[in-house]
Amino acid sequence: MNTKNRSHLLALGLSSLCILSLAGCSTLKKPADTAAELPQVVPAAPSDESQLGAKLREHTGDYGNLWSDIIDGYGLPKVGDEKVAKHLRWYSNNQKYLDRVTEQSKPYLHYVANELRENGLPLELALLPIVESAYDPFATSPSKALGIWQFVPQTGRNFGLKQNQWYDGRRDLVASTDAAVRYLKRLNTMFNGDWLLTIAAYNAGEGTVRRAIERNRKQGKGTDFWSLPLSQQTQSYVPQLLALSKVVANPDKYDLELNEIPNNPYFTTVNVSSPIDLAQAARMADIDPKELRNLNAGYSKWITDPTGPHQLLIPIADAAEFTLTLDKLPKVAPVQVAGDYKVKSGDTLGVIAKRFGTSVAAIQSANNLKTAQLRVGQSLSIPGQSPLNSPYAIQAEQEIAQRNQKNTGTYYTIQSGDSFWTIAKKHGTSVNNLLKWNELASNAKLKPGQKLLVVNKSSSQPQDNKITYQIKSGDTLHKIADKFDVSKKDILTWNKVKDESYIHPGQELTIYLSAKN
C-alpha cells in the first residue's frame, strides 16, 4: 500500500507520540490505486458564492470556522435559486435536520475538505456525503452501498477498497474518501470538466449519463445536466447538493442557522501492531466507545483486521492516553483468517467448531452460512476468540444501543393514494411517529415508491403523541380535528385559542394524538 504524508492530521504537541516504541502516530495509508492513471482533473472555477467565506471572516473576525474555508473553495457552476427552489424550501423548513448533519459531520468534514482541496476539487463536494449518507459511516442503502460516500461493492473493489469479514474499506473514512476523490476525478475527466454531469454520474453511473447525452445529441437536444432525461432520483440529487451549498454559503438568507465547526483536524492515526479489542482499549483510555467505533467504522467487529490495515483513527484529544494504553492491553488470542481450512469428507460444523475451539454459530456468522450443509473442498474462515464476545464489547454494544437514536424497524413503500393517516392506521402507530421517525415536516408530501419507517423498535416514548401542525390554506378547525380524530374543543384548549376565528394559514397548532391514531 502506498504511503502519503498527512502532516496536516497531526496536532501540534503530538509529535512525541511518534517516537514511542510500543506504537506511534503514522502517516495515513491509502489503498493501492488499482485503476489506470488518471488525467489531470479540470480545475474548478471559483464561483461568486466562494467569496462569502472571506466576507464572513471580514465581518465576524472568525478565522476558526471550517465552513468559511469550505465556502472559499466553492467551484461548482452558479445557479439561480429558482432551479433548486424545492430543495431550498425543504432545507428552510428543516433546521433540526441541518443541526443533526452538522453535528454528525464534525469528526470527518475537515479531513474530507482538505483531501478535496489538495486534489483541486470544488469544496461543495465536501457536502456530498450529507446528501449521500448524512455523514453516517454506518449508512447502508437497499443497493448495499456503504459508508459516507455510499460505494456499492463492485465500485468499491474497482477503486481498491478491501472487503472481508473483518474490514470493509467502504466504511473506512480515509480509504473511502481517497476512492471517492479518484472516482470524482475520473468522472470529471470523462465528462470534459462538467461538474454537474460528474455529480450526476456519481449518483446514476457514468454509463447512464453517457447514454442520456447520446440520446439527446441524436435528437438535437441539449446535452447539459438540466436537459438530460435522467431518473427522478438523479434529477433531484444534483439540485439537492446545489441547494445545500447555497444554504451553507448564506444560511441567513434562508432563515437558517449553521452551527460552527472548528477549522482544525479532529483525529490522528495510531499504529497497532496486532489485533486489539477496541472496546477494551476505549474503556481503558476513557474514550467514548461509540466515537471510537464511528471513527473506525471500517472494522466490522470490535477487533482490528488481523491482515491489516494496522492503524486506528483516534480523536486528537485522546491520542496520547490511547497510545499509552496500548502497552497495557492484554494480547488478543491469535485469530485465524479466511481460507484457513478446507472441508474434508465427514466434516460437520460441530466437528470443525470443536477442533478449532469455537462455536457453530461463530463459523456460520463468519462465512454467512444460512444452513449447516457443507461441501468437500469448501473453504471456511475459522474465527478465533473474538473480542466481539468480550465483556467490554458486550457492554459497549449495550451502551451504544441505549444512546443510539437511529431508526430501526420496518419500512413501508408508499403507494398511490396513501396519506400519513392511512399509513399510520394500517401499521398501528401515530402520524407523529411517522413524522418523527422519518424526520419529516408535518406538511411533507408523500411520493409513490418512497420508503417510510413505520415500526420503530427503538422508540416508544410517551411524548410521541404530540405533533405540531401548520395550518394550510382552506383548513378549518373541523377539518383539522377530523384529520387527526380529535375534538375541536381539545385543539382550542391545547393551543389556548378562544375560537376558530383566531386560527389562520401558516399558524402552527399543537395536537396530541391518541394511541389509536
Separation of alpha carbons 455 and 452, rounded Å? 9
Going through 289-332 in order, the beta strands assigned E by DSSP cover 311-315
- Using only the alpha carbons of the chain, give its radius of gyration: 26
- Per the model's pLDDT, the better-predicted residue between 352 and 252 turns out to be 252
pLDDT at 474: 66
Sequence-distant (≥ 6) Cβ neighbours of residue 444 within 8 angstroms: 435
With a cut of 80, say whether residue 499 has pLDDT above it: no
> Closest Cα partner for 30 from 432, 237, 311?
311
Q: Which domains does the chain have, with CATH numbers?
A: 7-27+264-326 (no CATH), 65-254 (1.10.530.10), 341-402 (3.10.350.10), 409-512 (3.10.350.10)
Beta bridge partners of 508: 470
> Closest Cα partner for 127 from 162, 83, 75?
75
Q: What is the DSSP string of 60-125?
A: H----BHHHHHHHT--SPP--GGGGHHHHHHHHT-HHHHHHHHHHHHHHHHHHHHHHHHTT--GGG
Helix and strand counts by DSSP (H, E) for the chain: 20, 8
Report the largest interatomic distance among the alpha carbons of the chain, rounded to a whole angstrom. 84
Choose the catalytic residue: 49, 115, 124, 132: 132
pLDDT at 405: 45
pLDDT at 441: 66
With a cut of 80, say whether residue 26 has pLDDT above it: no
> Closest Cα partner for 55 from 65, 42, 40?
65
Q: What is the mean pLDDT of residues 119-137?
A: 95
Q: What is the mean pLDDT of residues 443-452?
A: 73
The per-residue b/e assignment along 291-301, b for 16 or more CB within 10 angstroms, e otherwise, is ebbbbbbbbeb
- Per the model's pLDDT, the better-predicted residue between 91 and 428 turns out to be 91
Separation of alpha carbons 267 and 9, rounded Å? 7
Q: What is the mean pLDDT of residues 137-155?
A: 89
| CB-CB contact of 149 with 179 (8 Å) | yes
CA 99 and chain centroid, separation: 15
Number of residues written out for the chain: 517
Question: Which segment of 24-38, 68-82, 322-336, 493-507 scores lowest on mean pLDDT?
Answer: 24-38
Percent with pLDDT over 90 in the chain: 38
pLDDT in tens, 163-209: 877 889 999 999 999 999 999 999 999 999 999 999 999 999 999 99
Confidence of residue 274 (pLDDT cuts 50, 70, 90): confident
pLDDT at 327: 80
With a cut of 90, say whether residue 372 has pLDDT above it: no
pLDDT at 197: 98
Q: What is the mean pLDDT of residues 307-318?
A: 86
Confidence of residue 511 (pLDDT cuts 50, 70, 90): confident
Angle between helices 85-92 and 232-249 (to 10 degrees): 60
pLDDT in tens, 472-496: 766 788 888 877 778 888 888 888 7
Residue entry with cell 491469535: 334
pLDDT at 30: 39
- For residue 113 the three cell numbers come to 475538505
Question: Hey, what amino acid is at 255?
Answer: D
pLDDT at 182: 98
Confidence of residue 464 (pLDDT cuts 50, 70, 90): very low
Residue entry with cell 441539449: 222
| CB-CB contact of 269 with 25 (8 Å) | yes
With a cut of 50, say whether residue 128 has pLDDT above it: yes
pLDDT at 164: 79
Confidence of residue 20 (pLDDT cuts 50, 70, 90): very low
pLDDT at 302: 82
pLDDT at 460: 41
With a cut of 70, say whether residue 263 has pLDDT above it: yes
**3-class SS of residue 342:** strand
The answer to whether residue 118 is catalytic is: no
Task: Select the highest-mean-pLDDT range: 61-75, 94-108, 396-410.
Answer: 94-108
Separation of alpha carbons 129 and 246, rounded Å? 16
- Per the model's pLDDT, the better-predicted residue between 304 and 393 turns out to be 304
pLDDT in tens, 63-73: 589 999 999 99
Q: Is the dihedral of CA 166, 169, 175, 177 positive or negative?
A: negative
Question: Which segment of 249-253, 291-295, 370-374 scores lowest on mean pLDDT?
Answer: 370-374
pLDDT at 77: 95
With a cut of 60, say whether residue 436 has pLDDT above it: yes
With a cut of 90, say whether residue 388 has pLDDT above it: no
pLDDT at 465: 61
Parallel, antiparallel or unpaired: strands 341-342 and 311-315: unpaired
The per-residue b/e assignment along 252-261, b for 16 or more CB within 10 angstroms, e otherwise, is eebebebeeb
Task: Provide the 10 A C-beta neighbour count for residue 97.
Answer: 16
pLDDT in tens, 226-238: 999 999 889 999 9
Q: What is the mean pLDDT of residues 435-449?
A: 72
pLDDT at 24: 34
Going through 335-442 in order, the beta strands assigned E by DSSP cover 341-342, 379-380, 409-413
With a cut of 80, say whether residue 118 has pLDDT above it: yes
CA 337 and chain centroid, separation: 29
pLDDT at 276: 81
Over the chain, what is the mean pLDDT? 78
Separation of alpha carbons 268 and 6, rounded Å? 9
> Closest Cα partner for 77 from 124, 131, 112?
124
With a cut of 70, say whether residue 334 has pLDDT above it: no
Residue entry with cell 512525541: 16
pLDDT in tens, 210-220: 999 999 999 99
